[in-house]
Amino acid sequence: MKEDISLLLKREESPILEFKREWYWDDSTPKVEMADKWGELLKDIISLANGYLNCTGEYRYLIIGFSEKERALYNVEFDKIKQLKNLTDFRKILFQKLEGCTKPALLGINIEPVIIESKTLFVFEIQCPTYLIELKRELKTKTRHLDEGVVLIRRGQKTDEVRTATPDEIENLKLEFAKYKDSELHKRLNPELGLSTSERSIEKTVQLFIDKNASFTLAENFPVKERNWKENIVYEVYRLEDGFSGLREFIYIHDSSNQGKTFADIKNKNLITNLSVSIILIDRPKIKDVERRKSNIRKLFESNYVYFIDEFGYEHLYKDCILPFEKFNLPVYVNSLYDEGLDFDLSAIERLKHWFLSDDEPLFVVSGHGGIGKTTLAKQFLDSISNENSETGILFIDSKEIISELSRNFSLDNKVSDVFDFYKALMDADEIDGARFDKELLQLSIDNGSLVVVLDGIDEVIAKLGEKFDVEQFITSIFEEYSSGLHKCKVLITCRDHFWNEVGKKILLPQITLKAFNKNLAIDFFEQKLKGDNKKVQKAMGMAEDLAIESTQITKDGGDKTYIPFLLDMIGYLINSKDVTDNDQAYFQSKYLIPEEHADQLVAQLCRREIVKLGNLSVDQQVELFIRVSANKQNGISLYDIKGELAKITKDFDNSLIEKIKGHPLVQCENNMIYFRYDVFEIYFKGLLIYYFFKQKDLKMLNEEIIRIISGYLKYDSSFTESIAEKLTLDDDIIIFCIQVIESVRKFDNVSNEKFVSSIVSILLTLLQIGRDQQSNLNTRTELLEKIFGENGKLVGVCLVDIFGASTFKPTFDFSGKELVDCTFNNYEYFWECHMDEGTVFYNSIFKGIDPRVGVNYKIPSGMFSTSCDLSAIQHLLSEKQQESKSTEEAVKSELEKVFKLFYQRGNFYPRKQEEVRKKLSAVKLLPQLMDKGVIKNYKDPKKPTMKQYRVCENYKSVIDYLEQGTPSKEFKMLISDLT
């Protein structure tokens, strides 16, 4: 035992310490009750393992034979409990049951009888896990049924109460366990970390072998799985039979196994008929001479059929399905940087390589602004994998290429939710011939580490498919289905930061956010791009300086500016295409572009260069065309459709103009479709469209495309929204226009009115936040809401949807004394931080996903929700608060009774000495409040003027009847209400 148990007995119960006077059952317990008794034991162990917040790094203890109430020891009578007579067998049964119902398997438990003061206690010592433990099947106890997927914790009204964790608690516990896993504390507490006890299995491999060789079936009483971690005997044996007395036997030997003991155990149990022809599968070790491991196994087992698991899968199951990989060999590559904590300018590619070599980290996210270099980094990473692991299969999936295929094949009833959906869409879109993975084979190849997957630009799928893409289920499936055997799954996702900020709200994943280039990286980029031509590099840096962004921190090279990679690439294009004259950066006029905006300036330069080539298309006409392309629902626009868009811009054009547009530096043409050369331009031109809409304040512009973009992209605390708000000013005109827009959008069918209205509120809140005229605070935000939704003193139609995060500027409002009608609060995380009181009433409103943020305490004033509200999605909050209120009311009632009883004597209330009252600790908590309310008063007895006394106010005489006969007391009841 790590702790002195006698010292633990002096502590109070807590989320990681539980005492029980006696064992859960004995030999007289009826058999029908035993399942529930085991369930109770498993529930206690699992909840102790998870504990609660701020409990990582500490061992957990379940101590049987000690009464916390009595502070007394009781002997555990092992001889009257047959399951405890042989602790080795008990330990094995317990681990089997825990393995069967927990995910990841909870195995780090030490079990020992401990003698203290001649009493034998039974102690369970549980290592602090590095992952949150959840139920992988239903668990039944005497009093409850716990569903699959439930996370049990120990924190409620009492600090040791077992209950189900809330989503926020799960998120924060995952974060704590992840930090603990990587901490020095974890390494110190677990010096034996070299010994892996991770759960692995070849069950999928064998099953897929059976599927591929249909004549085989699994023999009766197989597989045999041994998990003796204490003796390091961990293996699996599978026997396959065919219809002609043929046999094929598989042995899996875990890399933590003692090979000699394992071999002896398998032979002693006669599990294999012929070792020389059995197929032995082993984990690939992390050593240079991997063949030595196979050689040792061959000698010991005398078998020539020894494979690494991934090697067997590749050779015998899915070799033909892996597509050939051609390295990208990027002509220009600069090492991207990111920050982490207090460390700045870290190498992004090195972080990805570190992740690739790590265990049990199936997913990694690279986020960042559009054009920051996410795709370039991903391609460079894949090239490095190909260089160092030539046998590893690589699958690069560009979301743009498959978005149409996904849109056609999936719906709200059949959502995209699996990596296989992306794979199949890629194969269908590219019409790739040859062998294909089915879902199970793809899972196995990724789980084995035989196939690395990059999903590039997943924000494209999120934005275009909306609710057709179940992001949470997609990520869950990677952990549960693609990383369930060898745990070597590696899936890399790239995503724009403002999209991932939403997706990653409840999902803890390793992630980096790429930074813009510093000056040194910009020079490095141009030297590669411009082939070391110093004159061109100097000219390019001169242009880049005008487009650089002031940095908020000093970079390593001492510079104070940052450079957006895609802008540098476009500058490189300009320099390479022909000489740049000083006139290229001259002032320009445009109804869409602002000369002071860096990206606008570069776009203007590019478009001015094309004027001669494109004939009569001006800068603004080119911009308008690209705005129309960006607003298209599809990924790009067909050459046929572009004629119609051009006709809306100019009447004087022919087919030759379309050919010239195909060569425009902002776009590229493939398969008769026009695409933007960089993804960032699609977002950029969408932003121009929305900016122009608010700038013009023309209701005639409102159409389905603008509604769709506003609803999907204008989110609170996003870079897209901020980029538009920075160009606008908050004034009465824009507020009036927004009110008109909200009214007008109701005329459109098939529009999510709530999301649209919330997006309008988001842009206005952002304008208020960055504006100079007035400060964003509770009052100004509330005034803004009143201007938009105020009707006859009420707030009508307020919609706050998907507003969450850790923003410095909390989007809260003062709803005190207000009536709110027909409102929607959906995933509005700050709801309970708004000001509300007894006068706040909601009518006919909808509430979903408004669980309070961690650490936020909230009250629900009585009558706040009218019966017309839809409260079905927040019933758990109401019930929890109701129960809490009831418990608090009972506690206050009990405390008050104690206070009044101090003064009750001989059928009446009599004065008591102040020092005597204060000695009664139970009265101290409420005494100050009762004195403030005049319930308890200072009293000076004329006969004893120097004696300090308290007495009960005359108004509370009715409490005497309550104490004597239980007669209801109005004053006592009102006092309870005031104090709760």
Note whether 150 and 135 are within 8 A (CB): yes
Q: Which residues contact 505 (CB under 8 A, 6 or more apart)?
A: 804, 805
Note whether 145 and 49 are within 8 A (CB): no
Q: Is 338 left (phi over 0), alpha (psi -120 to 50) or beta?
A: beta
DSSP-assigned states of every residue in 138-151: -EE-SS-EE-TT--
Q: Which residues contact 106 (CB under 8 A, 6 or more apart)?
A: 45, 46, 49, 98, 99, 126, 129, 133
Give the C-alpha separation, 478 to 447, whole Å: 9
Q: In 840-856, which positions are buried (b, 16+ CB within 10 angstroms) versus exposed (e)?
A: bbbbebbbebbbbbeee
pLDDT at 805: 65
Nearest to 219 by CA among 196, 248, 182: 248
pLDDT at 186 over 90: no
pLDDT in tens, 27-71: 999 999 999 999 999 999 999 999 988 788 788 999 999 998 899
Q: Tokens 């498919």 label which residue?
A: 465
Note whether 707 and 748 are within 8 A (CB): yes
pLDDT at 555: 46
Note whether 280 and 255 are within 8 A (CB): no
Give the C-alpha separation, 189 to 179, whole Å: 14
Tokens of 947: 């004696």
- Lowest average pLDDT, out of 373-387, 735-749, 876-890, goes to 876-890
pLDDT in tens, 649-661: 888 777 778 888 8
pLDDT in tens, 203-247: 889 999 998 888 899 998 899 999 888 888 999 999 999 877 688
- pLDDT bin (cut points 50, 70, 90) of residue 2 is low
SS3 162: strand
Q: How many CB atoms lie within 10 A of CB 624?
A: 23
Q: What is the share, in percent, of the chain residues with pLDDT greater than 90?
A: 32
| Sequence-ordered strand ranges (E) for 51-144 | 60-64, 66-67, 72-73, 102-103, 109-116, 119-126, 134-135, 139-140
The answer to whether the Cα torsion of 632, 634, 635, 638 is positive or negative is negative
pLDDT at 887: 60
Amino acid identity for residue 468 in this structure: K
pLDDT at 338 over 90: no
Distances (CA, A) of 748 to 742, 753, 921: 11, 9, 66
The answer to whether the Cα torsion of 933, 936, 938, 943 is positive or negative is positive
Distances (CA, A) of 199 to 207, 261, 480: 18, 19, 13
Give the C-alpha separation, 426 to 421, whole Å: 9
Strand bridging mode 102-103 / 134-135: antiparallel
pLDDT at 372: 81
Nearest to 575 by CA among 538, 547, 604: 538
- pLDDT bin (cut points 50, 70, 90) of residue 195 is very low
Give the C-alpha separation, 980 to 425, whole Å: 59
Tokens of 250: 């598989």
Note whether 637 and 629 are within 8 A (CB): yes
pLDDT at 880: 75
Give the C-alpha separation, 159 to 157, whole Å: 7
pLDDT in tens, 123-157: 999 988 888 999 988 898 888 888 888 999 987 65
pLDDT at 193: 45
**DSSP letter, residue 467:** G
pLDDT in tens, 640-650: 888 888 888 88
Give the C-alpha separation, 461 to 458, whole Å: 5
DSSP-assigned states of every residue in 324-367: P------SS----EEEETTEEEEEHHHHHHHHHHSSS--EEEEE
Instruction: Provide the mean pLDDT of the chain.
Output: 84
Tokens of 455: 């999903």
Mean pLDDT value of segment 284-305: 83
DSSP-assigned states of every residue in 780-835: HHHHHHHHHHEETTEEES-EEEEE-S--SS----B-TT-EEES-EEEEETTGGGSB
pLDDT in tens, 89-106: 898 899 889 988 998 888
Q: In 354-386, which positions are buried (b, 16+ CB within 10 angstroms) versus exposed (e)?
A: ebbeeeebbbbbbbbbbbbbbbbbbbbbbbbbb
Mean pLDDT value of segment 825-844: 92
- pLDDT bin (cut points 50, 70, 90) of residue 501 is low
Distances (CA, A) of 401 to 426, 490, 673: 7, 22, 11
Question: Higher confidence at residue 941 or residue 244?
Answer: 941
Mean pLDDT value of segment 102-116: 88
Question: Higher confidence at residue 293 or residue 3?
Answer: 293
pLDDT at 46: 95
Mean pLDDT value of segment 289-304: 86
Nearest to 336 by CA among 299, 373, 371: 373
**DSSP letter, residue 432:** -
pLDDT at 342: 54
Give the C-alpha separation, 590 to 579, whole Å: 24
Most confident of 34-43, 384-393, 433-442: 34-43
Q: Tokens 């393992």 label which residue?
A: 49
SS3 416: strand
Helices (H), 239-393: 259-268, 290-301, 309-313, 348-357, 374-388
First to last CA, the chain: 44
Amino acid identity for residue 422 in this structure: F
pLDDT at 688: 94
pLDDT at 188 over 70: no
pLDDT at 508 over 60: no
CA angle 463, 465, 471 (to 5 degrees): 80
pLDDT in tens, 591-608: 999 887 777 878 887 888
Give the C-alpha separation, 460 to 721, whole Å: 17
Give the C-alpha separation, 566 to 584, whole Å: 19
pLDDT in tens, 454-472: 999 887 787 677 778 888 8
pLDDT at 582 over 60: no
pLDDT at 190: 56
CA atoms within 13 A on the CB side of 717: 15
Mean pLDDT value of segment 763-790: 91
pLDDT at 341 over 80: no
Q: What are the φ and ψ backbone dihedral angles of 159, each rounded to 5 degrees? A: -70, -15
CA angle 231, 236, 237 (to 5 degrees): 125
Tokens of 548: 């650089």
Note whether 154 and 52 are within 8 A (CB): yes
Q: What is the share, in percent, of the chain residues with pLDDT greater than 70?
A: 90
Give the C-alpha separation, 453 to 419, whole Å: 9
- pLDDT bin (cut points 50, 70, 90) of residue 81 is very high
Nearest to 61 by CA among 6, 131, 138: 6
- Lowest average pLDDT, out of 488-497, 547-556, 663-672, goes to 547-556
pLDDT in tens, 715-746: 887 778 988 999 999 999 999 999 999 999 98
Give the C-alpha separation, 104 to 134, whole Å: 7
Q: What is the dihedral of CA 328, 309, 253, 489, to 10 degrees?
A: 50
